[in-house]
Amino acid sequence: MPKIFYLIAGFVALGLGGLGVLLPLLPTVPFIILAAFCFARSNERLERWLVEHRTFGSHIRAWRERGAISRKGKQAALAAFAVSIVLALLLAPLPWSLAPMAAALIGGSWIWTRPDA
């Protein structure tokens, strides 16, 4: 794949990760890890910036080295899933309110089975 596509995908992932800080069902760290992956194939300077980032660098390194997610990160993800489920149950009609519950069960079980960083 040409470098420009990886660069664009990296910026899209970085933007989605930034939105994930504000939106409860959208994860942050997986998108930042994806951005680092894309930047590693397109722009060494941006990749280095992410890997050395004060907040996200340790998560990227833990994932690259061991496929690990921090316990705090797992707890934050599960809390965000819980908030999303409650909001969906309060605001959305059935069966649409069940979609966040399904996402939480699938995504949450996968996250919880990763090694601890």
Q: For residue 28, what pLDDT is reported?
A: 84
> Which of 67, 90, 109 represents a domain boundary (last residue)?
67
- Indicate the length of the chain as a whole number: 117
The parent domain of residue 107 ranges over 68-117
Each residue's pLDDT tens digit in the chain (117 positions)?
A: 799 999 999 999 999 999 988 876 677 888 999 999 999 999 999 999 999 999 889 999 999 999 999 898 888 888 888 888 898 999 999 899 899 889 889 988 988 999 998
In terms of Cα–Cα distance, which of 62, 100, 66, 69 is closest to 82?
Answer: 100
**Residues 23 and 77 occupy one common structural domain:** no
Q: What is the model's pTM?
A: 0.74
| Alpha-helical segments (H) within 26-116 | 29-40, 44-51, 57-66, 71-91, 98-113
Burial class for 58, CB neighbours closer than 10 Å (0-12, 13-18, 19+):
middle
